[in-house]
Structure 1
Amino acid sequence: MNAVTGLTTRAPRLRYDVQGPRERLREGGPAHPTFVLAHALGCDLTMWDALAHHLAEHGRVVRYNQRGHGGSEAPIGVYTLAELADDASRLIDELAQGPVVWVGLSMGGMVGQELALRHPGKVRALVLANTTSGYPQEAQAGWSQRIASIAQGGLVAIVDGALQRWFHAGFHARQPQTVAHWRARVLSCDAAGYIACCQAIAGVDTTDRLPGIAVPALVIAGALDQGTPPEMARVIAQGIPGARLVVLPEASHLSVLEQPLAFRSAVDDWLQHALPA
């Protein structure tokens, strides 16, 4: 299936990929849903390759690289999730046809929450995977330590610890080439942009505002996820009215890579109820 790639026109310019049908109904509404897929910290849009190919059979799929990742611009300074959500809003204005189904994992899920709250007209439904609506104080201290480690030793100082959280030991043993691929992806990030994204993530604080999200939501957790454990997913699912929670077994933080078929099945089943024909 052919894909269109490019950079958004407004700063910060973000690298994107669009695939899938573009037809519209005569009445002017979209004939197919548009999905926007947002990646985790240290990753890029290729983490969605398999799911994007599947979803493109049913609608348009927009993937993009967030600030400091995969060739997207990395403005100097501290980032906030509000700014990252505004980036997403501009991307939707430029590339999408009407409100979108947002699929975000980890940082992408945090951006999705903020997007739905700041720009509710841009979001039709939400998939929030392996993410959180807030960190306890000790976890925020961990983010500060990670930032200090990068400032002193570069991304190589934190990459192996990240990979231990991303994938469980069995996956490391079975798919060392995949782990090596994502290690290289982390190291290819803009270090200053990565730090700025860490600062945005450390400040995530949507828990008390979650009841204001008024679209269907699927919350996915990995049973083995140490970074955003299922307890954090339950907080989100309980906060968003009518949200569905799915906990994937044998999945750590990057559940869409460890359990791609189970992740896809959870999304497909939910979409049948969230977006009735």
Structure 2
Amino acid sequence: MKTEHSFFTTGDGVRLAYRLEGAADRPTLVLSNSIGTDLRMWDGQIAELARRFRVLRYDARGHGASGVPVGAYSLDRLGRDVIELMDGLGIGRAHFLGLSLGGFVGQWLGVHAPERIDRLILANTSSYLGPAPQWDERIAAVRQAQDMRETAEMFLRNWFPAPMLARNDAAIEPFRAMLLATDRQGLAGSYAAVRDADLRRSIALIVNPTLVIAGEHDPVTAASHSEAIAATVPDARLAVLPAVHLSNVEYPHEFLGEVLSFLRAA
């Protein structure tokens, strides 16, 4: 299984890093990362997924090995990054799994490009995380910080349960490293995309079969947000795991079980 990055340049000149794994004759599954991580957030799932799918995972702009444009990002641009990447790789349709920010992107795709998506999985995400002033404060704080150390520890407290942090679980360190390596402009730009997003009404237009995965103890995108998405997207299925925010890391077997069960029904 290859581990190096490939690169694609979007219409606005941003280089996206990606990996394409699995047999070319299998259905494609796109994986989209959260704020503060990169495509390695799916390392625990990739071996099993690549046995069944052609898996396309990428670093969202502002993250990992992808380019970091200056200024605010928009959800529209993040969604178009996926469409352009699929176009560049000759992928007409794909299943899509996004967590947190990736889940926002998935909702955008379901609303604006349903013809490109087969089955849609929205994990630990929300349709709206306002009000805007709190995001302006976070944007200012991350830009003014000397480094990412304090921000990284704040993220980890929101992503993992206290006992897991207290025992310094081995699963946490790769995510600390991802956070510390994240460009602060990329984080600020992504905050802006979340700040300006409000999909609460438009997701009623999604026609793709949809699975919503919630974390029962998620302080970032509360389980009630997932419940609201599942209640708004026609015929959406809701699965609640006893997780905090990174449910694919905290409960990898249960998470993968929900994903594979849903995708097998295609």
Q: Is the TM value for this pair above 0.5?
A: yes
1:236–1:96 CA distance, 2 compared to 1 (3 A) = farther
Asked if 1:146 is matched to 2:148, the reply is: no
1:218-270: CA deviation from partner (whole Å, max 9, x where unpaired): 00011110000110001111111110000001x11011011100100111121
Aligned to 2:69, the other structure's residue is in SS state coil
User: 1:214: which partner in 2?
Assistant: 207
User: 1:270: which partner in 2?
Assistant: 262
Asked if 1:8 is matched to 2:1, the reply is: no
1:157-207: CA deviation from partner (whole Å, max 9, x where unpaired): 322111100001122134433323212211111111210011101222111
User: 2:247: which partner in 1?
Assistant: 255
- In the aligned structure 2, how far is the partner of 1:113 from the partner of 1:96? 22
Asked if 1:49 is matched to 2:43, the reply is: yes
Aligned to 2:60, the other structure's residue is in SS state coil
User: 1:226: which partner in 2?
Assistant: 219
1:55-66 mapped onto 2 (5 Å cutoff) = 55-66=49-60
Does the Cα contact within 8 Å between 1:149 and 1:157 map onto a contact in 2?
no
Aligned residue pairs, count: 263
Does the Cα contact within 8 Å between 2:100 and 2:125 map onto a contact in 1?
yes
Instruction: Tell me the CA shift for residue 116 of structure 1.
Output: 1.9
Aligned to 1:268, the other structure's residue is in SS state helix
Calculate percent identity across the aligned residue pairs: 37
User: 1:88: which partner in 2?
Assistant: 82
1:1-277 mapped onto 2 (5 Å cutoff) = 1-2=1-2, 5-10=5-10, 11-23=13-25, 32-95=26-89, 97-137=91-131, 140-153=132-145, 154-249=147-242, 251-273=243-265, 275=266
- In the aligned structure 1, how far is the partner of 2:133 from the partner of 2:170? 32
Structure 2 residue identity aligned to 1:64: Y
Structure 2 residue identity aligned to 1:62: L
In structure 1, stretches of 5+ residues that fail to align are 24-31
What RMSD, in angstroms, separates the aligned Cα atoms of the two structures?
1.5
Structure 2 residue identity aligned to 1:65: D
Aligned to 1:51, the other structure's residue is in SS state helix
- State the TM-score, normalizing by the size of structure 2: 0.94
1:129-180: CA deviation from partner (whole Å, max 9, x where unpaired): 000001242xx43322221211211423322111100001122134433323
Instruction: Tell me the CA shift for residue 100 of structure 1.
Output: 0.7
